Amino acid sequence: MSADVVIVGMGYVGLPLAQEAARQGLSVIGFDIKQDVVDGLNAGRSHIDDLAESDIQRMLEAGFRASTDESVLAEAPAVVVCVPTPLARDGAPDLGAVTGAVSTIARNLRPGMLVVLESTTWPGTTEEIVRPVLEEGGLTVGSDISLAFSPERIDPGNRTYGVRNTPKVVGGVTPACTERATAFYQRFIDTVVPAKGSREAETAKLLENTYRHINIALVNEMARFCHELGIDLWNVIDLAATKPFGFQAFYPGPGVGGHCIPIDPNYLSYTVRTRLGYPFRFVELAQEVNSSMPAYVARRAQDILNEDAKALRGSRVLLLGVTYKRNIADQRESPAVPLAEYLQEWGAEVSFHDPAVATWNLPDGPLERVPDLAEAVAGADLVILVQNHDAYDVEALAESARSFFDTRGVTTSSQTHRL
């Protein structure tokens, strides 16, 4: 079973990439080590938010197939690696999935093959980690095979920008590798942007998310002192955003989540510390600020209840929206988890509602979604809007709540508490 490309890793990055490639006429095989994922895809089932089962069905009709058989790699002229790169306990990137995938590719490597790494990692990974493994069998990058890095830019839930119309940065280990990878992506992506090399492409992805990380930390810190000074930060941001140049609006919240912003900047910080011996202070301070927001929200909740002559201990607190981003089911690194932990540790009776989550897996055990949202809101001592899903009529919910804490700045009533 041959294909134009084998995409390794059928998750939030690999599956949308496979969809777009298949949609543009490429023959695509999705390789994954999880048999249940492969079986589900071949049966037309989707396991990520951005693709419905109808999307998977159309992919299958276009010739897409998923497989756990690594021999499919040997038949493809191009292989793209889209596997997770989480943080290890010491803050270093965990490249276990990358090295495992590359070793599998190396066993099936043949002359003329293009290998592209899309998994976010620290600068130098493509040249220093991936290249030696691929060359162990005697084939040389740049002459026998091509190797490049192209950072994924998947934004789950974004209905405006997807794989095809988001510019694709591509950096090869050699100029010839860049040309080969560029030509490959141009077959199904509108705009491909060649980088000087793989290190520049790797660092570009880290800069993108570090920029967001730092600016979110800025407004999160401003939220604290603006509250103390009696200043409406949400109005401040709206006012600043009227300037047609020199300002981009960022908004505070209960913390940051997802697979990029809480994780990726640490790769850059780790590289600077381990290779150069000094800290990347902006990133480390931003991490400190953003990671402290769930505790800050919990303290604000305690203060709000105190204003109502209630203690947090024993109070019923309902959390609305526990995913890391609105209108998706993805819970990776969601700040709702540490927020719930703080509230429970301080004695609150925590319940939750989320239209996309039926069972919420917390460190202390699973929590089931409240069966009746209206009843739960009316019965809670405090309702906290953690994620503003479109399914919520927030103004109506705030109106029916005894006390409502809006961490997303979307309510207009003077009776609600805002971050």
pLDDT for the residue 1: 53
Residue 33 pLDDT > 60, yes or no? yes
For residues 41 and 66, the answer to whether their CB atoms sit within 8 Å is: yes
Torsion sign, CA atoms 64, 69, 74, 79 = positive
pLDDT for the residue 208: 93
Confidence grade of residue 408 (pLDDT, cut at 50, 70, 90): very high
Q: Kindly report the average pLDDT of the chain as a whole number.
A: 94
pLDDT for the residue 413: 87
Among 160-164, 201-205, 263-267, 378-382, where is mean pLDDT lowest?
263-267
Q: What percent of the chain has pLDDT over 70?
A: 100
What is the full DSSP assignment across 24-50? Answer: TT--EEEE-S-HHHHHHHHTT---STT
Residue 330 pLDDT > 60, yes or no? yes
User: What tens digit of pLDDT does each residue of 221-247 get?
Assistant: 999 999 999 999 999 999 999 999 999
By CB atoms closer than 10 A (0-12, 13-18, 19+), residue 372 is exposed
**Architecture of the CATH domain 217-418:** 3-Layer(aba) Sandwich (3.40)
Residue 148 pLDDT > 70, yes or no? yes
pLDDT for the residue 264: 81
Tell me the fold of 5-196: Rossmann fold (3.40.50)
What is the full DSSP assignment across 242-269? Answer: TSSSS-------S---SSSTTTHHHHHH
pLDDT for the residue 293: 97
Helix runs in 14-152, H state only:
14-23, 35-42, 53-61, 96-107, 125, 131-135
Identify which of 82-96, 148-162, 269-283, 366-380 has the greatest average pLDDT: 366-380
pLDDT for the residue 107: 97
How far, in Å, are 65, 259, 282, 330 from residue 221 at the CA level? 48, 22, 13, 26
Active-site position among 82, 177, 226, 260 = 260
For residues 129 and 94, the answer to whether their CB atoms sit within 8 Å is: no
By CB atoms closer than 10 A (0-12, 13-18, 19+), residue 71 is exposed
Confidence grade of residue 262 (pLDDT, cut at 50, 70, 90): confident
Residue 156 pLDDT > 90, yes or no? no
- Residues near 108 by Cβ (< 8 Å), separated by ≥ 6? 70, 71, 73, 74
Residue 95 pLDDT > 60, yes or no? yes
Amino acid at 349: E
pLDDT for the residue 266: 82
Q: Average pLDDT in the 52-76 region? A: 96
Residue linked to tokens 């190797």: 147
Query: Considering the entire predicted model, what is its pTM?
Result: 0.91
Q: Average pLDDT in the 127-141 region? A: 97
Residue 202 pLDDT > 80, yes or no? yes
Confidence grade of residue 267 (pLDDT, cut at 50, 70, 90): confident
177 is catalytic: no
Is pLDDT larger for residue 307 or for residue 50?
307
Asked whether this chain's domains 5-196 and 217-418 adopt the same fold, the reply is: yes
Torsion sign, CA atoms 247, 250, 251, 255 = negative
Residue 97 pLDDT > 80, yes or no? yes
Confidence grade of residue 370 (pLDDT, cut at 50, 70, 90): very high
Residue 45 pLDDT > 70, yes or no? yes
Residue 415 pLDDT > 80, yes or no? yes
pLDDT for the residue 139: 97
Of 353, 327, 328, which is closest to residue 340 (Cα–Cα)? 353
Query: For the chain, what are the domain ranges?
Result: 5-196, 217-418
